[in-house]
Structure 1
Amino acid sequence: MTLSDQNFSGPFVAEDRAAMIRDHLRDAIVDRRLAPGTKLNEAEVGTLFDVSRTVVRAALQALAFEGLVKTERNRGAFVANPTPEEARQVFDSRRLIEPGIARAAAERITTTEIANFRARLHDESRLMGERGPTARRAEIHASGDFHLLLASVAGNAILLRFMEELVARSSLVIALYGRSGASSCGHNDHADILTALEAHDGDRASSLLLTHIDHIEADLDLRTTTGLALREALAP
């Protein structure tokens, strides 16, 4: 079964196809199947997904807006290669935004939402017990989902959009440069943050979140990495 057969059967419009391609490419980038600097050739991507270059261009532009793809005039699109300074700026941005999100979430959180958080922590615990790159990538996704759920509980749609971009960028940086072994620390941090949220203690939740971001950034080890060819990275 081809990618086209698998994902694009039925009356998909161009916008739907662009969104699906964006999601496939985003996953391949964040999962480190596509290494930083990999050229994303419009014609090749179009062939893989059986779509026009116009549709591919729309997907790449969306990823460029998220900071996961860099476009260069007369050269095309490439997987972003975050510098140490760009990585610091991502986490500095999170320090500015997430404490306020935590305070708002502590005021609004419900019993049902607390149960949702606990389910996320259960998934993180399960992934921590598994081994291999697939489990590690899934754990990074699960950790990011915790922060997106926090932003959702805060009830500010604009901040949620900001956090979706920041979490995507953070996940790329962590997947590329994070040392193994930091996940248990991150999981314990999440549990402590949830305890503060459940107590509706916004100040403590905010303080713990800042400490958590410090832990994540301290684990980064900025070194080069290699990935798969474009066709291999996007294979089902």
Structure 2
Amino acid sequence: MPSTGSADRAKRGTTAVDMRIYRAVINAVMSHRLPPGTHLGEADFCELYQVSRTTVRKALLRLAHEHIIELRPNRGAVVASPTPEQARDIFAARRAIEREIIPLVIRNATTASIRQIRSALAAEDQARRSGDRAAWIRLGGEFHLLLAQLAGNQVLQRYMAELVSRCSLIIALYEPPGASMCQNDEHDDLASLIEQGKVQQATELIEHHLLAIEARLRLETQEKKIRLADALAGC
């Protein structure tokens, strides 16, 4: 019997190849290697991945459905560029979701889940220490996605996957040059509170953490351009 994931993919008509393209774009967005406004040419994907336009379009449609890209008439696909108002709405939604996630993580905490959290933090810290900013940013987002997974609510997890990607777009568009958006000590403190079962303090910290990230943004229009092949190199 096929797995639930396999059945879901079959139902949506997805394949391993278009899922690879989808994940490559998501990872490039989360690593800030693919800034908002970047044009995503179908021909570029065809050449990079040696696939048909039909396969590329499947991946692009899924990305558009999740608001990671926009399909614009006469221009094709571009990485979405949230407005300042949209950015505030997205961060507000993420705060609301994560306030629900943290108590569930604590309620469902096990020795294994705490080990997963600590392992994720170690990988994030290693990326920071090695100076790999792209990996550090991506792993910071994945830390929040891990918490959503450990909460045990698939609906919240699905919402978080979209919100983290959209927040990465916003940060790529509006962060001041050289700013660090996600401090490791805040994640460490959150992990300690989760381990100690301190629901109120952990919930307050995640709220403060996300508000601090949003406060450091310059919510004004900026433009960054990059070549698609450079952004997806190695994906």
What TM-score, normalized by structure 2, do the two folds share?
0.84
Distance 1:113 1:24, change over 3 A: same
Distance 1:129 1:225, change over 3 A: farther
Deviations 1:39-87 (A, max 9, x none): 2222332232221111111101111122210112343211111221222
Q: Secondary structure at the match of 1:235?
A: coil
**Which runs of 5 or more residues in structure 2 are unaligned?**
1-12
User: Is 1:137 the equivalent of 2:134?
Assistant: yes
Determine the C-alpha separation between the residues in 2 that align with 1:139 and 1:64.
26
Q: Comparing 106-115 with 40-49, which one deviates more in the overlay?
A: 40-49
Task: Determine the structure 1 residue equivalent to 2:58.
Answer: 58
Distance 1:14 1:159, change over 3 A: closer
Task: Determine the structure 2 residue equivalent to 1:69.
Answer: 69
Deviations 1:72-124 (A, max 9, x none): 23432111112212221111011111111101111111111112211222222
The total of aligned residue pairs comes to 220
Q: Secondary structure at the match of 1:129?
A: helix
User: Is 1:164 the equivalent of 2:139?
Assistant: no
2:38–2:79 Cα contact (<8 Å) kept = yes
1:33–1:227 Cα contact (<8 Å) kept = no
Q: Secondary structure at the match of 2:71?
A: strand
Q: Comparing 213-222 with 223-232, which one deviates more in the overlay?
A: 223-232
Q: Secondary structure at the match of 2:77?
A: strand
Q: Comparing 115-124 with 210-219, which one deviates more in the overlay?
A: 115-124
Q: Comparing 24-33 with 53-62, which one deviates more in the overlay?
A: 24-33
Determine the C-alpha separation between the residues in 2 that align with 1:14 and 1:68.
17
The aligned amino acid for 2:231 is A
Which of 179, 182, 194 is the matching residue for 2:180?
182
Q: Secondary structure at the match of 1:77?
A: strand
The aligned amino acid for 2:145 is L
User: Is 1:234 the equivalent of 2:207?
Assistant: no
Q: Percent identity?
A: 40
Determine the C-alpha separation between the residues in 2 that align with 1:142 and 1:87.
21
Q: Comparing 194-203 with 162-171, which one deviates more in the overlay?
A: 194-203
1:94–1:166 Cα contact (<8 Å) kept = yes
What TM-score, normalized by structure 1, do the two folds share?
0.84
2:35–2:79 Cα contact (<8 Å) kept = yes
Task: Determine the structure 1 residue equivalent to 2:45.
Answer: 45
Which of 201, 205, 214 is the matching residue for 2:202?
205
2:36–2:172 Cα contact (<8 Å) kept = no
2:14–2:58 Cα contact (<8 Å) kept = no
User: Is 1:224 the equivalent of 2:209?
Assistant: no
User: Is 1:151 the equivalent of 2:148?
Assistant: yes
User: Is 1:89 the equivalent of 2:89?
Assistant: yes
**Which runs of 5 or more residues in structure 1 are unaligned?**
1-12
Distance 1:200 1:33, change over 3 A: closer
Distance 1:155 1:182, change over 3 A: same
Q: CA RMSD in A?
A: 2.1
The aligned amino acid for 2:206 is L
